Every structure is written in C-alpha cells, then in structure tokens.
Structure 1
Amino acid sequence: MSHFPEFEVIPAVDVQDGEVVQLVGGERGTGKRYGDPVEAAERWIDAGASTLHLVDLDGAFEGERANAAAIEAVVGAVDEGVGLQLGGGIRTADGARDLLDAGIDRVILGTAAIEDPDIVAAIDDTHPDSVVVSLDAKGGEVVVAGWTEGTGLDPAEAATRYEELGAGGVLFTNVDVEGRLDGIDREAVAAVVEAVDVPVIASGGVATVDDVVALKRAGAAAVVVGTALYEGRFTLREAQAAADDA
C-alpha cells in the first residue's frame, strides 16, 4: 500500500451530532466539542495535513452511519490530493464500496471485521488495499461494540489474521490511554507492527511531540492525533517536523 510512503501525522475529525468531538477513554458523554467538521478539516489541511481521519462516532456506537451529511460535506470540501479515511458504523461490503466510490480513500472497519472477517476480502476484491481494520485494545485484548465487549483476541494475532484476509492496513488504538493526554504505550504498538507487513496506523494517548516520535520509532507508518491538536499542545507542523527529523 503506497498510502504512507513517509511517516504521517494525521489529524482526527471525530463527528458526533454533526460536530467535532473528542472522547476520553472511548466513553460516550465525555466529549468536548470543537465546532464544524468542514472548518476543522480545512484548518488541518491548511496546517499541512496530507490525510484526514474521519470518524462517525454516533455510527460507532449505534451501528449505523448517523453523520453521513457532515462526512459528505467534508468530502466535498477537500481537494482530491488529500487522503480521507473514514470509520464508524460501516457494517457491510456494499456500504463500504459506496463510500469508496463517493470519495473516501480508505474505509476503517472495526466491529464488522471482527464479527464477519469475510467482509474484508469482499471489499478488497473490488477496491484493493482500501480496507483498514481497526483493532481497539483495552487491557491487552481487542474490544468491539463501542469498546464495551472483550473478544479475547491478542492485537498482534488479530492483525496477522486480517492481513491474510486482505486488509491494506491496521489502525491500532489503545483505548486505555485514548483522549487522556497521558502518553502512549509504545510496546503494544511495536508488537502489532512486528506481526504484519502492512502499514500500522497508531492512535490513542498522544500528548507530546515526543510521543509522535516514539510511535514512528516503534515502526508505525502514521499516527492519528486528536485531543492534543485540538487543545493546542503542539501544532501539526511541529509534530510532522519532529517526526521527519527522527
């Protein structure tokens, strides 16, 4: 997958009720609101983002896409040169294909891929390398259904399985540290990176530029940053420059 020829810092645009929100530890109702998704997307692109990470949070919890209009507005507002990856509520191969045909570059599948692994191969058949499987870990095991149900799966083993099914990448989120600005779990990321050949996108807990650099050194192809950017802990350019120098 040529999506990440160089390490990328990817801003998160998480949408709930049509607004940008950042949750703490994946808990509903903990979110702080940051305004209009299109404005956020344009701000990050102006700041140098090559890729945006879009999440339909209502979709992630409800199991169906609830912020389609807001997501479509973002797709319509950004230039073709900006990569868009979308997760949250994508449950079927047909639904994923519709999004890919409408301008999304990569679909992120979480619960659907765990419950029906064949969906990964089905989408890959028509849209090669466009599926990123999202593995959310809590206490060292993969969790699903809005981070509420444990699966007993080890993240590295799960990543290997999905790579074999045709996943073009893995999004690995450590839910224990997500949104808390407490720092990352480098070892957990490195274990997933070592298990697969496809790109691993790391997410969760990034609080400092040093966290970004550490994830690059752990082998991640890219890192998704949300709260730290919205709270102004560092700028996108600062993070990308530090990673480029590392």
Structure 2
Amino acid sequence: MFPEFEVVPAVDMQDGQVVQLVGGERGTGKTYGDPVEAAQRWVDAGARTLHLVDLDGAFEGERQNADAIDAVLDAVGADVDVQLGGGIRTVEDAVSLLDRGVDRVILGTAAIENPDIVEAISAEHPGSVLVSLDAKDGEVVVAGWTEGTGLDPARAAQRYAELGAGGILFTDVDVEGQLEGVRTEPVRNVVEAVDIPVVASGGVATIDDVLELADTGAAAVVVGSALYQGAFTLEAAADAVEEHR
C-alpha cells in the first residue's frame, strides 16, 4: 500500500453524481457530473489510486450508489487501486466488495461500533482495511461526521493497528472541503502513533499543502475540491511531489 507518497483523487458520490461537500454537511456540496467520467479523467491524468466514497451510504448507514461504483470498477480495471468507503457495515459486505475488485475497504462507523470487524475482514483479506478516523475539534466523529465518539484520533489509530488494519485514513473535518489549507499537527500526531500507512485528507488548496502533508510522514493524501475546481492539476501535484522527494 503506497510504496511512495501519492496524491489520490477523490470520487465522492451522492445520488449517482460526483459531489464535494464542505465540512461533510449535506446541502453544501457542488456537483461534478458522472462518476465514471471523473474516475477516467483522473486515471488518464496519472492516478494510481482512486478514493471512492458513497456519501449516501455514509449518511444512511447502507450503501446507496452500488451501480455507480460497479461502473467505475468496470471502467478503470485492475491496473488502478480502488479504495471504497461509505455504508460498509458488515464483514460480508466488505468481503464481497474485496472479492469484486475493490483493493481496500474504508470502515468508519462500523469500526468504531464494532472494532472486531477490522480483525475479521483482515483475516480473510490481509492489509485490505483502511480505518477512517474523521476528526472534528480533536474528536473522532462518525455517521457522516454527525456524531461524536469521545475518541482521540492517535489513540484510536493505535488500537486499530493492533487489530490488523492495513492503514488509517485521517480526515481533518474542520478544514475539509474549504480550500483554506491544511493543518499538519493533527496528521503528524496520527502518523507518529502507528507503524502502518496514514492517508491524510482535508483542506488541501495548493500544491504546497500537498508537500506539507508529505513532510508529516503521511503515505498519501486524498484531494477532492482543489482538483475539481482547478486549483492545480493532478499532473502538477505529482511532479511537485517527485521533485520534493
């Protein structure tokens, strides 16, 4: 998983369309068209990994955009890694997605409510679980970022690493989707707490933000709004990362 730092485009789906939310709140998003077209655009631009999220699934607790996700998987093929989250609540659902061709499943609410699910899925597909720790005001939140848990992100990351998680997806909800820059300290705290890859997300507005996150020791960064709004191109970000190594 991520042999070197990587910029990962997000394809967040709501009602079968690509959407970028602000702070994870419903009704704040901009729509960017067909998921397959978006995915193909990023693959053509050099993406090695795609980050797919079923936003309806995250809010409703069960997957809602299965057809769109299947279409993306068929379109990009096996040469591109796909990590998928949103509404995955059971071992059976996760395993079926991994058998279908998803490379990593992202578990948020399910992992918080039932930590053993991480161990169970990992037993069948080692390294395939990316535990999503979304932090708001320094606290892990779940259910589409609407419910607090009282958990500290770094301590929670340690717990899931012990349970066999292949990596941690850390999202800084306080800056997510706002295109106002990143906060490196929360990311670094999680990176330093575990020996598994940490994927950072939230707030990226410039290529400098990407490089700052690379310097935290994160394995990758998920970028959504900045790419869709043309703040920079995926190619330019990848070139900057290569020069920064």
TM-score computed with the length of structure 1 as normaliser: 0.99
- Per-residue CA deviation, residues 26-52 of structure 1 (Å, 9 max, x unaligned), is 000111000000000000000000000
CA distance in 2, matches of 1:39, 1:152: 39
3-state SS, counterpart of residue 174 of structure 2: helix
Q: Could you say which residue in structure 2 is the equivalent of 1:116?
A: 114
3-state SS, counterpart of residue 35 of structure 1: coil
CA distance in 2, matches of 1:207, 1:47: 19
User: What is the identity, as a one-letter code, of the residue corresponding to 1:214?
Assistant: E
Q: CA deviation at 1:79?
A: 2.4
3-state SS, counterpart of residue 187 of structure 1: helix
CA distance in 1, matches of 2:54, 2:181: 24
User: What is the identity, as a one-letter code, of the residue corresponding to 1:240?
Assistant: A
| CA RMSD, 1 decimal | 0.5
Q: Could you say which residue in structure 2 is the equivalent of 1:193?
A: 191
Q: Could you say which residue in structure 2 is the equivalent of 1:211?
A: 209
Does residue 151 of structure 1 match 2:149?
yes
3-state SS, counterpart of residue 171 of structure 1: strand
CA distance in 2, matches of 1:127, 1:234: 35
Percent identity (aligned): 73
Total equivalences in the alignment: 244
User: What is the identity, as a one-letter code, of the residue corresponding to 2:171?
Assistant: T
3-state SS, counterpart of residue 130 of structure 2: strand
User: What is the identity, as a one-letter code, of the residue corresponding to 1:27?
Assistant: E
CA distance in 1, matches of 2:94, 2:77: 21
Q: Could you say which residue in structure 2 is the equivalent of 1:128?
A: 126
Q: Which residue of 21, 24, 49 corresponds with 1:23?
A: 21
Q: Could you say which residue in structure 2 is the equivalent of 1:163?
A: 161
User: For structure 1, which runs of at least 5 residues remain unmatched after alignment?
Assistant: none
Q: Which residue of 91, 101, 109 corresponds with 1:93?
A: 91
Which 4+ residue blocks in structure 1 deviate beyond 4 angstroms? Answer: none
CA distance in 2, matches of 1:156, 1:216: 18
Q: CA deviation at 1:184?
A: 0.6
- Per-residue CA deviation, residues 67-109 of structure 1 (Å, 9 max, x unaligned), is 0000000000012110000000000000000000001000000
Q: Which residue of 25, 40, 43 corresponds with 2:41?
A: 43
Q: Could you say which residue in structure 2 is the equivalent of 1:227?
A: 225
CA distance in 1, matches of 2:52, 2:173: 17
Q: Could you say which residue in structure 1 is the equivalent of 2:8?
A: 10
- Per-residue CA deviation, residues 105-151 of structure 1 (Å, 9 max, x unaligned), is 00000000000000000000000000000000000110111111111
- Per-residue CA deviation, residues 143-187 of structure 1 (Å, 9 max, x unaligned), is 111111111111000000000001000000000000000111100
CA distance in 1, matches of 2:149, 2:75: 38
Q: Could you say which residue in structure 1 is the equivalent of 2:234?
A: 236
TM-score computed with the length of structure 2 as normaliser: 0.99
User: For structure 2, which runs of at least 5 residues remain unmatched after alignment?
Assistant: none
User: What is the identity, as a one-letter code, of the residue corresponding to 1:182?
Assistant: E
